Amino acid sequence: MITEKIFEKLKILADSAKYDVSCASSGTERPNKPGMVGNASAWGICHSFSEDGRCISLMKVMQSNNCIYDCAYCVNRRSNDHPRATFTPQEVSDLTIGFYRRNYIEGLFLSSGVLRNPDYTMEQMISTVKDLRMRHSYNGYIHMKVIPGCSRELIFEAGSWADRLSVNMEIASEENLKFLAPEKNYEGILKPIRMITDRISENREDRRKYRKVNKFTPAGQSTQLIIGATPENDRTILSLAGKLYSHRKLKRVYYSGYIPVNDYDRRLPVLSSPPLQREHRLYQADWLLRFYGFSVDEIVNEQHPDLDLVFDPKMNYALRNPELFPVDVNRADYQMLLKVPGIGVHSANLIVTSRRYSRLNSDHLKKIGVVMKRAQYFITCNELGPLRKVTGLDPELVRHLMLSGQKPSGAIQLPLYQPAELYDKYLK
Amino acid sequence: MTLLCFDDTFDGFLTLIFESYRLKIIPDKIIGKSEEQLFLFSRPVFIPAEAEKSDRVWNKIIERTSKDNADRIYRVFMSEVPGSRMLIYEFIRLMTERNYNIEADFTLRPVLEINKLHRKVAREADRIRMFTRFQKTAEKSYFAAFSPQYNVLPLVINHFTDRFSDQEWIIYDLKRNFGFYSDKKETSRISFTDLPVNPVNGQLYESFHDPEERSFQELWRKYYNSIKIEERSNYKLHRQMLPRRFWRYLTEKG
């Protein structure tokens, strides 16, 4: 039965859960089983988009927004005077199945404030997903938060029901975490992350030996870092993310621009708006790490510890390393093509396949989807037109040309003049 | 002007291509049976579908290119965009003329165009997977209706058959007036003359709804409105991801 109370609880507990940015439903391919409802598709499906432009794929709710902790950055901290509610396991599973059968959602994202103690909270969450899987024969996607400090057995049980587990790191350095959340420490957060990583690889081994072994978190684990609440630079953040990807085999690290939810707390910075541009650049850098074969040091280094807000990280890499360019699109290998600003994974693939048949010129590249506005300075292609190149130009000038948003006009003779003259000529 | 006409099905279209080669007629335009009356002065030649002939063309496409490419051709056909049929015709002509697999040679215009159009159709199909909204009926089955831009319902029906295998459902294309019905065992094509549906928003009339349906729609709207973060509002991105033309069928936008 749907009562007025359910409406109220859903409003409170969805509102409390919204600051968790993860919403991916990808990573598991699981066909439907007879007599059950649901499947999981490897690429994930969004079902709606909220007015902040974010994808709504999973029903994101908290079991409860009561919490025994008092973390400065969290909207649900103990000392906040804020409407509180707790769902029973049945209420969450009934709602999830009602939404799922109407194709509103791709699955459930279940999180919770810490009630009484971590073990008790985890038990509540597990009974929710268990009820969903058993009573409702639900075969769709489930993402579960792990409460740091809960027992090993509970993590293992959670992972046997859920597709993905996540433990949020929140703050990218231990010192600042302790400053904002004195009740937490890094060891407490890293321990469950390690346990999940180890269990996943153990499970993979077991499945190789015995086919009947059930999968453990088939979609892997993820985490979230809050950006801008503490003074860490992007290098610290990306190094941590890089390590989580390589050592702990995380599937995703999410970056969440800090939204001043507790502006009365003096330990937090005063921001006029959330650092959305910085967050965007971090995601771009994250993509470079995961799909473009970049290393953290290529993106940020000692001289440039922060990402540039004006240009994307790949553009900056290219401008810092002009000696690597221009790249000949008809010869360069795939890895090198990926390093060119304006060429993405999709267009690099198309370049590699179509250049087998004929030499590519800039017209082909445009049709393939290369962003010539950026790429023109870094490539050579079939024609020998006097296109501007970063090697002939000062990288600083390329910067200015990019900013002025000019279209290339092939007829202009370039480049070996004094930069000052060039400015006069092009930057009117 | 040489007009060739087929029976509006993909099989019919492939048969037409087969016959055009056999009879050595190069069409200026390929039209479906439903468009025949649009031509006043030309007399279209009608070519009936024959499974054997269409299979031969289909298998030839797979043989000379790949299964993936054949699927792309099918998607382009389902776009129903003016000119898409001649585009496929052009592609097949190039495919038979050249002595290599042309599917990835994007320097050829039809190859590139086919790739662009197929992606648009695939995108629309994705959106149907995302934005289909079922209403629970008084008979405990589920109903959804909308009007996709391209004829993509047949492309996504396997997804729904697999996912909702333990519930009875109907998904209906209001624009093309046909849909699919699944009774848990089989999914079949259906067509209604008078659906008890409000064509503006695809909602069944109130009396056909399950007693709890209204509450669930209200809950979903409530959830949708509480999940957005005010400080991050981005309406441009919102409209880009969730195009206006879907809004009227979406519960949360109702």
Burial class (CB in 10 A: 0-12, 13-18, 19+), A364: buried
| Residue B219 sits at the chain A interface (C-beta within 8 Å) | yes
Q: Are the CB atoms for A370 and A348 separated by under 8 Å? A: no
- Whole-angstrom Cα distance, residue A77 to residue A73? 8
> Is the confidence at residue A176, as pLDDT, over 80?
yes
Residues B142 and B246 in one domain: yes
Q: Chain B: nearest CA to A357, how far in angstroms?
A: 6
- Residue percentage of chain B with pLDDT more than 70: 100
A101 contact residues in B (CB cutoff 8 A)? 134, 136, 142, 164, 167
Query: Tell me: the pLDDT tens digits for B86-134?
Result: 999 999 999 999 988 888 888 889 998 999 999 999 999 999 999 999 9
Q: Do A37 and B100 touch (CB under 8 A)?
A: no
Q: What is residue B2's DSSP assignment?
A: -
Low-confidence winner among A240-254, A326-340, A393-407 (lowest mean pLDDT): A393-407
Q: What's residue B177's pLDDT?
A: 93
CATH number among 1.10.3470, 1.10.287, 3.20.20, 3.40.390, domain A4-219:
3.20.20
ipTM score of complex: 0.90
Band (pLDDT 50/70/90 cuts) for residue A61 is very high
Radius of gyration of chain A (CA): 25
In a shared domain, residues B21 and B108: yes
User: Domain ends where: B76, B98, B124?
Assistant: B124
Measured between beta carbons, which residues in chain B are less than 8 angstroms from residue A48? 130-131, 224, 242, 250, 252
Q: Which strands make up the sheet holding B169-173, listed edge to edge? A: B135-136, B142-146, B169-173, B178-182, B187-190
Asked if B36 and B108 sit in the same domain, the reply is: yes
**Do B19 and B98 belong to one domain?**
yes
What pLDDT is recorded for position A367?
83
CB atoms within 10 A of CB A247: 11
Q: Does B112 touch chain A (CB under 8 A)?
A: yes
DSSP-derived letter for residue A324 is: G
Residue with tokens 């198309």: A350
Torsion sign across C-alpha atoms A363, A368, A369, A372: negative
Q: Note the pLDDT of residue A424.
A: 47
**DSSP annotation string for B197-227:** EETTTTEEPGGGB-TTHHHHHHHHHHHHHHH
At A405, the pLDDT band (50, 70, 90 cuts) reads low
- What is the reported pLDDT for B232? 83
* pLDDT score of B223: 92
Quick one: which of A71, A77, A30, A22 has its CA closest to A255?
A: A22
Return the DSSP state at A31: -
| CB nearest to B165's CB, from A10, A32, A357 | A32
Q: What is the pLDDT of residue B161?
A: 92
| Residues B117 and B142 reside in one and the same domain | no
| Residue corresponding to tokens 């970056």 | A255
The tokens for B166 are 């333990």
Please state, rounded to an integer, the average pLDDT across all residues of chain B. 91
Taking alpha carbons only, the member of A137, A42, A106 closest to residue B166 is A137
Residues B173 and B96 in one domain: no
The span from the CA of A181 to the CA of A142, in Å, is 28
Asked whether the predicted pLDDT for residue A154 surpasses 80, the reply is yes
Of A342, A360, A346, A345, nearest in space to A402 by CA: A342
Contact of B194 with chain A, judged by CB distance below 8 Å, is answered with: no
Q: CA-CA distance, B219 to A157, in Å (whole number)?
A: 30
CA angle A196, A200, A203 (to 5 degrees): 135
Nearest of A197, A288, A189, A186 to residue A238 by alpha carbon: A288
Q: Which domain holds residue B218?
A: 132-253
State yes or no: pLDDT of A97 exceeds 50.
yes
Which residue from B132, B163, B234 is facing A38, i.e. has the nearest CB? B163
- Rounded distance between C-alpha atoms, residue B20 and residue B27, angstroms: 8
pTM, two decimal places: 0.86
Residue with tokens 């057995």: A153
Query: Do B252 and A360 count as a contact with CB atoms less than 8 A apart?
Result: no
Q: Is the pLDDT of residue A248 over 70?
A: yes
DSSP B78-145: HH--TTHHHHHHHHHHHHHHSSS-GGG-TTSHHHHHHHHHHHHHHHHHHHHHHH---EEBTTS-EEEE
B105 with A358: Cβ contact below 8 A: yes
Scanning every residue of chain B, which has its alpha carbon at the shortest distance from the alpha carbon of A140?
A: B163
- Residue in the structure block whose two tokens are 């769709």: A140
Percentage of residues in chain A having pLDDT higher than 90? 56
| Min distance B239 CA to chain A CA atoms (Å) | 8
Residues of B in contact with A11 (CB under 8 A): 222-223, 226
Rounded mean pLDDT of chain A?
87
Confidence of residue A413 (pLDDT cuts 50, 70, 90): very low
Residues of chain A within CATH 3.20.20 domain(s) are 4-219
pLDDT range class, residue A383, cuts 50, 70, 90? low
Mark whether B12 and B77 lie in a shared domain.
yes
DSSP-derived secondary structure for B7-61: -SSHHHHHHHHHHHHHTT---SEEEEGGGGGG-SS--PEE----HHHHHHHHHHH
d(CA A154, CA B15): 61
pLDDT at A316: 92
What is the helix (H) or strand (E) element at residue A80, kind and residue range? none
Query: B204 and B137, same structural domain?
Result: yes
Contact criterion met (CB < 8 Å) for A51 and B228: yes
Residues B99 and B168 in one domain: no
Residues B54 and B120 in one domain: yes
The total number of structural domains that make up chain B: 2
Asked if B131 and B88 count as a contact pair (C-beta separation under 8 A), the reply is no
Q: Is the pLDDT of residue A358 over 90?
A: no
